[in-house]
Amino acid sequence: MEVDSFVRRRRMTAETPGGDAAVAGASAGAEIRWLGGRLLGVSEGIIGSLSPRIGAESELHAMQLYGPQPEACESLEPDYEGLPQGASTSTHMLAGAVAGIMEHCLMFPIDCVKTRMQSLQPDPAARYRNVMEALWRIVRTEGIWRPIRGLNATAVGAGPAHALYFACYEKLKKTLSDVIHPGANSHVANGTAGCVATLLHDAAMNPAEVVKQRMQMYNSPYRGVLDCVRAVWQKEGAGAFYRSYTTQLTMNVPFQALHFMTYEYLQELINPQRHYNPSSHMVSGALAGAIAAAATTPLDVCKTLLNTQESLALSSLGQGRGGGAGHISGLAHAFRTVYRLGGVPAYFKGVQARVIYQMPSTAISWSVYEFFKYVITKHQHEKRRAHRDGEK
């Protein structure tokens, strides 16, 4: 009807005798602009209803032209990547703790296999060709619960360790990025933040790692977690729980630096807008974990030797007085021991199990953590909006 009215008015103007041509032209131009505006408004409405994303872009364009409107600002979705600036440290700690516990608990059976496959002098009954064969033989010969022995120690350590880990990483990443590359992502900031976060993570996690790996070994003499803690404390002292700490840091600092830099780089490639995208977080986390795990396997083998103090390996080298078993202490000593027992190939024992463990492990960790970031951000946004509505 509006178009018919426009045509009738246009015809009346054109047929007016003796009318001024300039006035008629100006009138026609105004009417054409009016009709174009109406048609543009209708098309934008149709496109906006079909695509919420395009509709949001048109709102953003209007805000840029005419300035922000209070109602429009309130209706926008919360900035997912804005969580680190607005959330409290406890938010990151909660999300990180849940992610860490889920990661370690779900992947614990594979971690058990990895520990055994890194053994330098394994018992003949504990020599495995691959991960699946190892799992099957452990369950068949030692019981269905054997692959998860020591899980409670890991869960207790993983909660606080990952809480400190993610909270420190998010805080330092934001602070360093603002200094190094304001307004953009910085790989140097990501790597540095990951390294510093590792110091806190390993300080909390190392005692749990010692207990866990000793209980995972074949023919472990300990009845349970408390029995293992008591025995290690009485026979080797409190220092035994941190004997591998420097090796753990030597391994995890490059691991985490490579891990975080790879993850953030892959996110830039497959999720440049940094929206919440579970598949991108899983793929980026898995690939980052696999690359970092393969590169740092030699250090992990040394860490396992320091944590477990394998009796067969020590006896074969005649450590201690009179050829008895002693203790391996320090990264250099562990490196020499590994080389003497197996040469260069020994540094890559269990690399298959380590990569298979780390890929889903880091995928789970990042997916759970990013999910909690998204949920918490959305909850905080809705809470603030409800509070503003209540004040009105």
Are 145 and 34 in the same domain?
A: no
Task: Give the integer Cα–Cα distance in Å for 209 and 335.
Answer: 19
- Structural domains of the chain, count: 2
Q: Which residues of the chain have pLDDT under 70?
A: 1-87, 309-326, 392
User: What is the C-alpha end-to-end distance of the chain, expressed in Å?
Assistant: 41
Residue 8 lies inside a defined structural domain of this protein: yes
Are 253 and 361 in the same domain?
A: yes
The CATH code of the domain that includes 309 is 1.50.40.10
pLDDT at 185: 74
Domain that holds residue 303: 96-380
pLDDT at 310: 65
pLDDT at 225: 92
Burial (CB < 10 A; 0-12, 13-18, 19+), residue 12, is exposed
To the question of pTM greater than 0.85 for the whole model, the response is: no
pLDDT at 292: 93
Are 138 and 273 in the same domain?
A: yes
| Cα torsion angle, 66, 67, 71, 77, sign | positive
**DSSP secondary-structure letter at 321?**
G
| Cα torsion angle, 270, 275, 276, 277, sign | negative
- Taking every pair of Cα atoms in the chain, the longest distance, rounded to a whole number of angstroms, is 126
Are 209 and 268 in the same domain?
A: yes
Task: Give the integer Cα–Cα distance in Å for 314 and 138.
Answer: 24
Residue 37 lies inside a defined structural domain of this protein: yes
- Examine the fold and report which residue of 10, 45, 75 is the final residue of a domain before the chain moves on: 75
